[in-house]
Chains A and B, each alone.
Chain A
């Protein structure tokens, strides 16, 4: 049998597919971060905690109210989004006039509080969340066994990413948003409610994190640590893609997922640092990120 770099091609396809699945989570999360940074200029460190919150809302809905996966997919992002709106209205909105650093510190502190609270009540080992009946089992693709649920994750995240990109880049509302980012005073002068748009954007961005949390619940344990495990990588993804660039965040998310998958085959020990090595290299060559604009 022929091999590619000593690996049978079947195994390689399998690993690429797995990379794509992990990339889906990176893409969904970094998309939310990019949207928030683009519109609010806030580096949202609470993103990982809100992703965890999404998974926990789904788990709580199931265990306390018996509400299943599909409703959770709708409800959890709404709950997380609403929580985000409250945060923005009461806390974040006071910081827009200050340096970026303050937003970062505030959201970082919020993340620690939320995670600490969940850790206190639920421990670190996490809670099991079953895969919905409809998506149980899997397909034998010849080169690997693909669980149906993982396939669904890729499709769902692709659809959401494309829809978000379309809404921001190709619709009238998106045009307002982009204009408000460039020059909020002028846009406000045209009679558009800019503060409302900012609040809605933050709510939407964190709702994406909540959605990713629900998607992740059946794959990983629903654990207070799940966000902090992922968030650092996601920040690296955003930095590599270019802060605030939506297309950049999505493409980089999938791309780095693939690359990480390959690393796990060729040099597994390095799989948790490869993303950061790439980040360092990209920052040296293109400080604004692959898709970012120099300001």
Chain B
């Protein structure tokens, strides 16, 4: 009995081996793109269905076909739960033949999916997650981090605010992988620029009432309250900080370390005005970005966030690489992607480091006052372009150790 089982297993292994040997061309005769993100919770507006729309736009631009085979886009909701995220991606890859996974906000989920895609040698295009660990100690040969990361946010917003005189910091941190990393990276930049960190408080993800944490931040006496959170949590904390008069007194300043266009839209300029933030994309910067964004808006009724625009850009680049490589085999395409510069409406002369970090210019922006804004979505004034090499860590700094 055991001998038979063993023989069966050996045969199966042989079959798998020969299937892999026949690589080249398109697996399953279809290129399947899976958009995995939060479609119903606090991060749904910054990625969500919008990311899927952006990906479909990239697919339409190449005519829905590549190397003569159709391209299919599927999407699913990971509900911000790492176990659901990794199970879904396993199911997608093993059962449905998904070739590339896109977006996956929430660093906790992304770290789990990165493990799956590394094991399965599947391409993983990360837009939503922030933690710089994804191209650091948790890097993968087939993982790509695209729109931004915690290090770029820290360099942009952290340094800018210290230069303006905000020397002492108190962090209000989302209590999971992302918040911790954003706090760590920002604290490092603040200290580098000559500032100090006086304390931090860790708030659970998806907190309804931040007033207690804000009060602790207030009594710390720090000049700057750094919000190391995102999406719905950022919106609530900024809104309630204004309610409790934290910023009106002029003694304390809020630093939103990760703010998306959708957050500013939800807050309204009255509350959000003068916030300084770092972003990888803003629709109203040049003709190419405007044209693409208007097309996106026609489909969704909203202007894209950097996550959604990045989803488009990364899928576009992926498809180019598949075309050039003549196959959808993960490692082969990944190598091709790293060879080619990224040039599209999202990034000019973007380059991809061996650890998967897509290095492109980031932008320091200030939220306009209601009087300066010409209408809905006219929200940012770009005050500085941060060169990619300054914003993102080098391969050596990242701490990524790839085999070979």
Q: Is B266 an interface residue (CB 8 A)?
A: yes
Instruction: For B265, list chain A residues within 8 Å (CB).
Output: 125
When chains A and B are docked, how far (Å) is the Cα of A123 from the Cα of B263? 12
When chains A and B are docked, how far (Å) is the Cα of A11 from the Cα of B220? 10
Q: Is A14 an interface residue (CB 8 A)?
A: yes
Q: Is A255 an interface residue (CB 8 A)?
A: no
- Are B232 and A126 neighbours in the complex by a CB distance under 8 Å? yes
Selected from A21, A150, A230, A268, the residue in CB contact (under 8 A) with B213 is A268
A138-B245, A149-B243 are known contacts. Are A268 and B201 too (CB-CB below 8 A)? yes
Instruction: For A219, list chain B residues within 8 Å (CB).
Output: 209, 240, 243
When chains A and B are docked, how far (Å) is the Cα of A10 from the Cα of B208? 24
Q: Which residue of A lies closest to B262 (CB)?
A: A125
A128-B266, A225-B41 are known contacts. Are A15 and B204 too (CB-CB below 8 A)? no
- Are A128 and B267 neighbours in the complex by a CB distance under 8 Å? yes
- Are B266 and A264 neighbours in the complex by a CB distance under 8 Å? no
- Are A125 and B232 neighbours in the complex by a CB distance under 8 Å? yes
Q: Which residue of A lies closest to B215 (CB)?
A: A14
- Are B208 and A220 neighbours in the complex by a CB distance under 8 Å? yes
When chains A and B are docked, how far (Å) is the Cα of A88 from the Cα of B117? 49
- Are A147 and B40 neighbours in the complex by a CB distance under 8 Å? no
Selected from A18, A123, A221, A272, the residue in CB contact (under 8 A) with B207 is A272
- Are B175 and A147 neighbours in the complex by a CB distance under 8 Å? no
Q: Is B22 an interface residue (CB 8 A)?
A: no
Selected from B211, B245, B271, the residue in CB contact (under 8 A) with A128 is B271
Selected from A15, A225, A230, the residue in CB contact (under 8 A) with B215 is A15
When chains A and B are docked, how far (Å) is the Cα of A219 from the Cα of B232? 14
A18-B212, A125-B263 are known contacts. Are A221 and B236 too (CB-CB below 8 A)? yes
Q: How large is the interface on A (under 10, 10 to 19, 20 to 34, 35 or more residues)?
A: 35 or more
A131-B243, A265-B216 are known contacts. Are A124 and B42 too (CB-CB below 8 A)? yes
A119, A144, A264, A271: most-surrounded residue (chain B CB, <10 A): A264
Instruction: For A149, list chain B residues within 8 Å (CB).
Output: 243
Q: Is B206 an interface residue (CB 8 A)?
A: yes
Q: Is B45 an interface residue (CB 8 A)?
A: yes
- Are B240 and A271 neighbours in the complex by a CB distance under 8 Å? no
When chains A and B are docked, how far (Å) is the Cα of A265 from the Cα of B216? 8
A147-B245, A149-B243 are known contacts. Are A119 and B40 too (CB-CB below 8 A)? yes
Report A148 CB to chain B, min CB distance, Å: 10
B-facing mask of A49-85, CB < 8 A → 1, else 0? 0000000000000000000000000000000000000
Q: Is A181 an interface residue (CB 8 A)?
A: no
- Are A229 and B215 neighbours in the complex by a CB distance under 8 Å? no
Q: Is A152 an interface residue (CB 8 A)?
A: no
Instruction: For B243, list chain A residues within 8 Å (CB).
Output: 131, 147, 149-150, 219
Q: Is B65 an interface residue (CB 8 A)?
A: no
Report A157 CB to chain B, min CB distance, Å: 15
Q: Is A261 an interface residue (CB 8 A)?
A: yes
Q: Is A41 an interface residue (CB 8 A)?
A: no
Interface residues of B in 199-255 (CB under 8 A from A): 201-204, 206-209, 211-213, 215-216, 219, 231-232, 235-236, 239-240, 243-245
When chains A and B are docked, how far (Å) is the Cα of A263 from the Cα of B212? 10
Q: Is B268 an interface residue (CB 8 A)?
A: yes
Instruction: For B155, list chain A residues within 8 Å (CB).
Output: none
Q: Which residue of A lies closest to B42 (CB)?
A: A124
Q: Is B44 an interface residue (CB 8 A)?
A: yes
Instruction: For B213, list chain A residues within 8 Å (CB).
Output: 264, 268
Instruction: For A229, list chain B residues within 8 Å (CB).
Output: 206, 208
Report A206 CB to chain B, min CB distance, Å: 20
A219-B240, A230-B208, A268-B203 are known contacts. Are A128 and B268 too (CB-CB below 8 A)? yes
B202, B203, B206, B208: most-surrounded residue (chain A CB, <10 A): B208
Q: Is A145 an interface residue (CB 8 A)?
A: yes
Instruction: For A131, list chain B residues within 8 Å (CB).
Output: 243
Instruction: For B215, list chain A residues within 8 Å (CB).
Output: 11, 14-15, 18, 144
Q: Which residue of A lies closest to B243 (CB)?
A: A147
- Are B45 and A221 neighbours in the complex by a CB distance under 8 Å? no
Selected from A15, A220, A272, the residue in CB contact (under 8 A) with B212 is A15
When chains A and B are docked, how far (Å) is the Cα of A138 from the Cα of B231? 27
B204, B209, B244, B267: most-surrounded residue (chain A CB, <10 A): B209
When chains A and B are docked, how far (Å) is the Cα of A138 from the Cα of B271? 17
Instruction: For B45, list chain A residues within 8 Å (CB).
Output: 123-125
A220-B236, A221-B239, A265-B216 are known contacts. Are A125 and B211 too (CB-CB below 8 A)? no
Q: Which residue of A lies closest to B38 (CB)?
A: A124
When chains A and B are docked, how far (Å) is the Cα of A88 from the Cα of B137? 56
- Are A147 and B208 neighbours in the complex by a CB distance under 8 Å? no
Q: Is A30 an interface residue (CB 8 A)?
A: no
Instruction: For A225, list chain B residues within 8 Å (CB).
Output: 41-42, 232
Instruction: For B270, list chain A residues within 8 Å (CB).
Output: 128
Selected from A123, A138, A272, the residue in CB contact (under 8 A) with B204 is A272
A127-B266, A219-B240, A221-B239 are known contacts. Are A265 and B212 too (CB-CB below 8 A)? yes
Q: Is A269 an interface residue (CB 8 A)?
A: yes
Q: Which residue of A lies closest to B44 (CB)?
A: A124
Q: Is A223 an interface residue (CB 8 A)?
A: yes
Selected from B41, B216, B271, the residue in CB contact (under 8 A) with A11 is B216
Interface residues of A in 223-268 (CB under 8 A from B): 223, 225-226, 229-230, 261, 264-265, 268
Q: Which residue of A lies closest to B173 (CB)?
A: A268
Instruction: For B216, list chain A residues within 8 Å (CB).
Output: 11, 264-265
Report A127 CB to chain B, min CB distance, Å: 7
Q: Is A22 an interface residue (CB 8 A)?
A: yes
Q: Which residue of B lies closest to A130 (CB)?
A: B270
Report A135 CB to chain B, min CB distance, Å: 11
**A/B interface sample: 9 pairs, CB < 8 A:** A119-B44, A124-B41, A124-B42, A126-B266, A147-B244, A147-B245, A220-B209, A221-B235, A268-B204
Add 6 more A-B contacts to A15-B212, A21-B211 (CB < 8 A): A124-B40, A125-B263, A128-B239, A149-B243, A221-B235, A229-B208
- Report, nearest first, the 4 A-B pairs whose CB atoms are least far apart: A125-B266, A264-B212, A272-B204, A125-B45
